[in-house]
A and B are shown apart, each in its own frame.
Chain A
């Protein structure tokens, strides 16, 4: 019983982290219809920035989190303005190839400067240790920290989308770019802002995830499929879809690896294929299929 609770909480932490990592991808896909396989590279950037700052310059971990966000967002903004925007109208294959190209460059670059080894950081004391719940079940303090941060972020994102002017513009642009343009919304700016924030969130996720997911140059490819699952299963029309998809994926993955170790990742792929085959437009798609 306590085991179940522990696994569940671990899964939730993992899922929440996936959500922060992948929600940017879901927005770029919904908004620009862009298949960005390089999304994980932004997460990796955030992770490595944190590693360098914490281990090299002794910057406090908590301070690194916003910095990771900003650095990844800045890189995202730069690449969006210079390269990504050229491929908005292109077919998915070109976008895939282009972003694989970026992934390769990022991986090789990181390998060159940081080496191929797994990176580690020392968490501050107050984030270490176990938090004991009822009946002897426990959860790592750090995982609890992740859950809290990500939950807050999810709520903030939802509020931004539903309450602010930017949010309504964004939704208008997602629904129909032409109409949004007709309403005088500068779609290009909305795209750039969104891309930057999405990349930033990935960077933040990368920083938060060093301890949980591991960090090495293969990060973008290792987690590519997870991000894609979140987006494809969750759909792109809301925050709630990817959020639920992330949780299901997180809990499923942790539980799978815990209870049937031989088939852990096997289960994820199977789950995804089954879902995609039954619901090709996502588990939570609300739009018609035509």
Chain B
């Protein structure tokens, strides 16, 4: 099942050869959502400003390439490293308060960065965006081509590697501890768990992967705009998790695919009003299908098992 899932990019490549940029975007959005899922779905830290780290990663990778270092892999690692450092520092601000304070502080941090990127136009290109991002071939072999073939495979592979790493984390004792912190922090303290240290780590790691996602976007599209730091980008990641299901590693990927495909389709019918249906869908999901696609899938599997059990009897 899982192997089949990860082989999907191959037929998709041949079926949708002309829509590759869309598929690339889905992979990047999925990675961004996965990074938020660690923070939100597993550790239970609500964030309205996850784009801060995405944006930092994007500008890091973009600026490196603009200023003469177009090597993709190290650029991506640098993007991740900068975002990780920023995540670590800001985690101490974010983790102090209640849910509401966390929402506010994360939102404020991303707004501050957006404002800063806007002001530092000499560095970031400001509202015009950062042009001149030129990438070297990956491993010196694979050129980023006009059709986006390389960008596609590059993004899919980075997504896969990150996915494997993130899944290892959530399936480890540390992942269990995060579920504990989310489920009952009072009890976690009573068993002597360093609750805050767990949360700092989760936030830092999540920020790092968001940075990689941002770096990936900068490299794949060879462009960075202020948009990478905007509120709607943070909201998008939340939506993806609501659609796909949070606290479940495949949720982010399914959600990202559903989200972008719906977006293409709806804005194809009524260009501006995709937002309207997005809002409506969000309300319906929150009220009636809180588990998202993954939740529906699990309910289905459970029902199948039950009927099979009954037949066996």
Contacts and interface: CB of A to CB of B under 8 A. Distances in A.
Interface of A: 29, 35, 83, 86-87, 90-94, 96-98, 100-109, 111-112, 221, 225, 228-229, 232, 262-263, 265-266, 269-270, 272-273, 276-277, 280-281
B111 A97 contact: no
Contacts of A111: 272-273, 275
B282 A108 contact: no
27 contacts: A29-B100, A83-B283, A92-B100, A96-B238, A98-B287, A100-B282, A101-B278, A101-B280, A101-B281, A105-B279, A105-B280, A107-B275, A107-B279, A109-B276, A111-B273, A111-B275, A112-B276, A228-B103, A265-B115, A270-B112, A273-B93, A273-B112, A276-B93, A276-B108, A277-B96, A280-B97, A281-B98
Interface of B is mostly: helix
A246 B226 CA distance: 29
A270 B93 CA distance: 12
Contacts of B107: 225, 228
A98 B272 contact: no
Contacts of A109: 276
A35 B100 contact: yes
**Which of B93, B107, B119, B275 has the most chain A CB atoms closer than 10 A to its own CB?**
B275
A98 B104 contact: no
B242 interface: yes
A228 B279 CA distance: 21
Contact of B104 (A106, A108, A221, A228): A228
Given A101-B279, A104-B279, A107-B279, 11 more contacts: A83-B287, A101-B282, A101-B286, A105-B275, A112-B273, A225-B108, A265-B115, A269-B111, A273-B93, A273-B109, A280-B101
Contacts of A104: 275-276, 278-279, 282
Contacts of B281: 101
Contacts, number: 125
B65 interface: no
A134 B215 CA distance: 57
Interface string B235-271: 1001100100000000000000000000000000000
A277 B90 CA distance: 11
Nearest to B111: A269
Contacts of A96: 46, 48, 103, 238
A269 B112 contact: yes
Nearest to B275: A108
A221 B101 CA distance: 18
In terms of DSSP, what is the predominant structure of the interface of chain A?
A: helix
A269 to B, nearest CB: 4
B100 A98 contact: no
A225 B111 contact: yes
Given A229-B104, A266-B116, A272-B104, A98 B275 contact: no
B49 to A, nearest CB: 10
Given A232-B100, A273-B109, A102 B93 contact: no
A93 B46 contact: yes
Contacts of B109: 269, 273
A235 to B, nearest CB: 11
A57 to B, nearest CB: 26
Given A101-B283, A265-B115, A92 B235 contact: no
A269 B273 CA distance: 31
B96 A94 contact: no
Contacts of B104: 225, 228-229, 232, 272, 276
B254 to A, nearest CB: 17
Contacts of A87: 286-287
Given A225-B111, A266-B116, A269-B115, A277 B93 contact: yes
B231 interface: yes
B40 interface: yes
B199 interface: no
B46 A276 contact: no
B179 interface: no
A96 B108 CA distance: 16
Contacts of B283: 83, 98, 101-102, 105
Contacts of A263: 119
Contacts of A232: 100-101, 104
B99 interface: yes
Interface in B95-129: 96-101, 103-105, 107-109, 111-112, 115-116, 119
Nearest to A277: B93
A276 B96 contact: yes
Interface string B7-49: 0000000000000000000000000000000001000001010
B201 interface: no
Contacts of A103: 279
A98 B275 CA distance: 14
A266 B276 CA distance: 31
